[in-house]
Structure 1
Amino acid sequence: MSDEKTKIETKIETEIEPKSPIIQKKNGKNKVMILSTKSGEYFADLLLEKLGTDNFERVAMDRKQFAGGEEYYRVDVDKKSDLLDKTVIFVSSTAYDSDFLELVRVGMALSAYGTRRRIFVIPFMGYSTMERATKSGEVVTCKTNCRILSSIPKDGEGNIFFLFDLHVSGIVHYFESTIAFEVYGEQILAEGVRKLNLEPGTFMFASADLGRTAWVSSYSKKFNNTPVAFVRKTRKMEETEVHEVIGEVKGMHVIIYDDMIRSGGTLFHAVDAYLNNGALSIYTVISHFAITSEAVCQKLIDSKITKIITTNSHPMSQIKLVKESDKFIIVDASIPFAKAIRNYF
């Protein structure tokens, strides 16, 4: 893994005593406000649990849609001065364009109302797979969105963006004249793997394709350098055609890592490939449960996968099918975010 990743992981995992005078004061007027989009409320609540109510508080958002489709937002405070000189955390995955726009609009309003600093917690970064152009004329939407986020005024002590398990770590460098950090979920996902209670020497890590080799190797090292395997494939538009398995999987429990799942096509093909090559069972470790529909979730439940370990970074991790199925082990991504925020202060 890169030196940059190691440096940031060390920063996040090292406990630092709070230094900010805002955090040290314990009366309500000086508490850090935690806001969120509607779909981010569950994550903001979890974040507050980790940070504690002595120095942090949840503040509601009023929102409605007018008949013409225009959106209305309001931070639920009594008077304008309630925001003056405050530190505000805004929680929003950008899985949906509506959430992205709310983040930008509210972020700009927070700056205009005189907040001291703004911390944007983005558990899932939408459009992260559109980080480069592969065909002539393509819009690099991920870069465009990062530039839009960078345009939020940096009044006071500025803005900080915390992102989580990015599809490509270099995305943080698309932000301009602002601070962006990647928070890593490797530790909490590894704890999920330990809950499987697999005997050492009986399991290995693998990927669904050749795109996650560095991460597969990293997980392998966390478990005493287990063997690794990969799938060589070619993609034809929406269909994925799997070719060959690289690595010996016969007689092993295979744990497939991927940074996200959407339609599940790549994962399902990889599962078949490993089983056809003699794997005893298949488990998956997924950073972002970004499935496109509940039908995909049902396919996962009905699939040959034994257990799915994933985080709660994406709103789809909160659907009823996930909560009621024993196929899923959901680990809490608010834990590393809380550590990152504590370290910042």
Structure 2
Amino acid sequence: MEKPKKKQVLLFHCVEAEELALKVAAQSDLIQLQSINWRSFDDGFPNLFINNAQDIRGHHVAFLASFSSPAVIFEQLSVIYALPRLFTASFTLVLPFFPTGSFERMEEEGDVATAFTLARMLSSVPISRGGPTSLVVYDIHALQERFYFGDTLLPLFETGIPLLKQRLHQLPESDKIVVAFPDDGAWKRFHKLLDHFPMVVCTKVREGDKRIVRLKEGDCAGCHVVIVDDLVQSGGTLIECQVFLLVFLPLINEFEHINFYSSDRMSAEVNLCKLRLANFHSK
């Protein structure tokens, strides 16, 4: 029995994802890169045109999106809503990062769970000739967000952890690698995928208006540490965790108390930590 022929995919993309789309298309002859004219009227609203729209009938179509800011979501949604209506055999939406994923629940009355709002907007994508739209998202903040989407859209949650594991095993002294999680949230999200590595879990405790990094469990003495977090914005949490693990654990007997602050601007304590970190590396 002959194997079915592999399907050809027409790949559209937003402006920001052009470089990534070129790399994806270069991986297979079955992926054909397509183009869209991303223009704007004088008032700033989008003036869009899908090139060769007649030629995509009956083809499998994918769109590589990037919701990097609220300003670009409307124009991309306009194209996303239009593509399945061009009589496509199937439609796949690839959204590598789900931007509102960290606000997926209400903690008090009045909170607006914007993750649910964006999920409803994406659930309005029309059904193509082949059925519901497939949505591919990488490392979404919370797996339960799968249930925020309607029945006309099928979410597929992927992860980049296998690529990370592959790279870690290729490093020298891979047997001395320890995975560190800066907080419990990151540990809960990824520890099962990295359970064959020794682990260190940090935590932040409040003392007044300050947040102090503490070691919750694990030991990384004499090891190479890789910090894994579920969401990075300013990177402040990663820096605090790095400084704590590299400087204050080896030198803990020299300090009675160290404070860290979660802010975009470095506090004096964090600057001191960075100085000691540089001295630590120079030894």
Please tell me the TM-score bracket, short chain as reference.
Answer: 0.7 to 0.9
| Matched ranges for 1:132-281 at <5 A | 132-158=105-131, 159-177=133-151, 178-200=153-175, 202-218=176-192, 220-221=194-195, 225-234=196-205, 240-275=211-246, 276-278=248-250
Residues 108, 193 of structure 1: CA spacing in aligned structure 2 closer, same or farther, 3 A cutoff? same
Is the contact between residue 91 and residue 128 of structure 2 (CA under 8 Å) also seen in structure 1? no
Is the contact between residue 85 and residue 114 of structure 1 (CA under 8 Å) also seen in structure 2? yes
Residues 228, 61 of structure 1: CA spacing in aligned structure 2 closer, same or farther, 3 A cutoff? same
Which residue of 2 is the match for residue 115 of structure 1? 88
- The equivalent position to 1:47 in structure 2, one of 14, 24, 28, is 24
TM-score, L = length of structure 2: 0.79
Residues 256, 84 of structure 1: CA spacing in aligned structure 2 closer, same or farther, 3 A cutoff? same
SS at structure 2 position matched to 1:112: helix
1:75-128 superposed Cα distances (whole Å, 9 cap, x missing partner): 111xx4223222210001222223432332112111232222210111111111
Question: Counterparts of 2:58 and 2:72 in 1: how far apart (Å)?
Answer: 25
Matched, 1:57 2:57: no
Q: Tell me which stretches of 4 or more aligned residues in structure 1 moved more than 6 Å.
A: none
Matched, 1:72 2:43: no
Residues 220, 115 of structure 1: CA spacing in aligned structure 2 closer, same or farther, 3 A cutoff? closer
Residues 90, 170 of structure 1: CA spacing in aligned structure 2 closer, same or farther, 3 A cutoff? same
Residues 214, 66 of structure 1: CA spacing in aligned structure 2 closer, same or farther, 3 A cutoff? same
Question: Counterparts of 2:3 and 2:49 in 1: how far apart (Å)?
Answer: 30
Which residue of 2 is the match for residue 340 of structure 1? none
Question: Counterparts of 2:210 and 2:18 in 1: how far apart (Å)?
Answer: 35
Gaps of 5+ in 2: 252-263, 265-270, 279-283
Question: Counterparts of 1:204 and 1:65 in 2: how far apart (Å)?
Answer: 49
State the 1:231 CA deviation: 0.9
Residues 68, 168 of structure 1: CA spacing in aligned structure 2 closer, same or farther, 3 A cutoff? same
Question: Counterparts of 1:248 and 1:35 in 2: how far apart (Å)?
Answer: 47
Is the contact between residue 92 and residue 99 of structure 1 (CA under 8 Å) also seen in structure 2? no
TM-score, L = length of structure 1: 0.66
| Matched ranges for 1:294-313 at <5 A | none
Which residue of 2 is the match for residue 14 of structure 1? none
State the 1:18 CA deviation: 7.3
Which residue of 1 is the match for residue 66 of structure 2? 93
Question: Counterparts of 2:229 and 2:33 in 1: how far apart (Å)?
Answer: 33
1:23-79 superposed Cα distances (whole Å, 9 cap, x missing partner): 1xxxxxxx42100000111221222122x12x32101110112221111111111xx
SS at structure 1 position matched to 2:157: strand
State the 1:249 CA deviation: 2.5
Equivalent residues, number: 252
Letter in 1 for 2:36: M
Gaps of 5+ in 1: 1-16, 24-30, 280-291, 293-298, 306-345
Q: Could you tell which deviates more after superposition, 209-218 or 56-65?
A: 209-218
Is the contact between residue 206 and residue 216 of structure 1 (CA under 8 Å) also seen in structure 2? no
Residues 143, 234 of structure 1: CA spacing in aligned structure 2 closer, same or farther, 3 A cutoff? farther
State the 1:157 CA deviation: 1.3
SS at structure 1 position matched to 2:228: strand
Q: Could you tell which deviates more after superposition, 211-220 or 59-68?
A: 211-220
Is the contact between residue 40 and residue 48 of structure 2 (CA under 8 Å) also seen in structure 1? no
SS at structure 1 position matched to 2:42: coil
Is the contact between residue 35 and residue 90 of structure 1 (CA under 8 Å) also seen in structure 2? yes
Question: Counterparts of 1:135 and 1:235 in 2: how far apart (Å)?
Answer: 20
Residues 134, 176 of structure 1: CA spacing in aligned structure 2 closer, same or farther, 3 A cutoff? same
Percent identity between the two aligned chains: 23
Letter in 1 for 2:11: I
